[in-house]
Amino acid sequence: MKSGSKKGLNLLKPLRLGRKSATRFCIFPKVRSASKTAGNTPVYLNVYDLTPANDYVYWAGFGIFHSGVEVHGVEYAFGAHDYPTSGVFEVEPRQCPGFRFRKSIFMGTTCLDPMQVREFMELHSVNYNGDTYHLIVKNCNHFCKDICYKLTGNSIPKWVNRLARIEAPFATAYCPRP
């Protein structure tokens, strides 16, 4: 999808948990069936290029990347917005709007079924509000590192968020923690 395209973006709506509105978790309204079996379901890290310059520096272990976690045919990612509600969203795997897909990395497996994964994401999304997104300190790759570790026990490859790790000592001097 071209970065200028608006297709699919109007599908964002708040998720409803029971009787309460969960405005903290914005998600596409497409819910996968719970009929898929639990067990050893693969979990993938989908990595996207933020800039065409990645084609020239990727070979050296550098680049600026966006990432999302794919499980049960759904990709979850974290993005910025101006509101104190969740920045976690759901897209079709390897189709995140505005980014160019680079590669999918097998992270391990989870025993959670589709509905358990959704509940897991709802629970953890409260820690990732869109207005707390920070390119260096708390970005989509930090979200994926946290989620992948909790689902599989494995951490994402270091190169995915290398730029943030290099810049972090400088950023904390200018970005005090709450």
Residue 154, CA atoms < 13 Å, CB-side half-sphere: 14
Q: Are 26 and 86 contacting, i.e. CB atoms less than 8 angstroms apart?
A: yes
CA dihedral 120, 124, 126, 127 (to 10 degrees): 180
Cα–Cα distance for residue pair 63/150, rounded to 1 Å: 25
Question: Burial, 169: exposed, middle or buried (Cβ in 10 Å; 0-12, 13-18, 19+)?
Answer: exposed
Residue 163 φ/ψ, nearest 5 degrees: -60, -40
* Catalytic machinery residues: 66, 140
Nearest to 14 by CA among 85, 100, 110: 85
Q: Is 116 helix (H, G, I), strand (E, B) or coil?
A: helix
Q: Is 80 helix (H, G, I), strand (E, B) or coil?
A: coil
Q: Is 77 helix (H, G, I), strand (E, B) or coil?
A: strand
